[in-house]
Amino acid sequence: AVVSTQSTGGVNSVKVLSRDQRCLPGAAATEIELAKQLMTYGEQTPGMEQYAIKKFAEAFEVFPKILAENTGLKANEVLANMYNAHQDKVSGMNAGINLEADNCEIMDVVERQVFDIFLTKH
């Protein structure tokens, strides 16, 4: 059953990529960058709308938290390290979780070729 599920996932990925080849940085790099930018925008927004924007930004933190917990890492430590890495405006946008490391390690996901399919994020 596991092999069947994995091959079905691979076939579906190929099917989606045949329609749209665009990819985004994976390993939660995209979600943290979106959260960071939305938080910044929320802080600049006057009135009650800023709270809704900030809560929406916090919702993107669920993805790296789940990845961290599923690999036995501490979610809060991963989030702190990712936000720290994303402060670098040049290479920070590509900072994601190294799921193969034994400890909380952040890596450049584009350099390591870890991507998510655009249509799964759209």
HEC profile of 33-70: HHHHHHHHHHHHCCCCHHHHHHHHHHHCCHHHHHHHHH
pLDDT score recorded for residue 99:
86
pLDDT digits (tens, 9 = 90+) for 26-68: 999 999 999 999 999 999 999 999 999 999 999 999 999 999 9
* 120: alpha, beta or left? (left if phi > 0; alpha if psi -120 to 50): alpha
Q: What is the pLDDT of residue 6?
A: 54
| Per-residue pLDDT band at 89 (split at 50, 70, 90) | confident
How much is the mean pLDDT over the chain? Answer: 88
pLDDT band at 1 (very low <50, low <70, confident <90, very high): very low
What is the reported pTM? 0.84
**pLDDT surpassing 50 at residue 12:** yes
Q: What is the pLDDT of residues 97-113, one digit of tens each?
A: 998 888 889 999 999 99
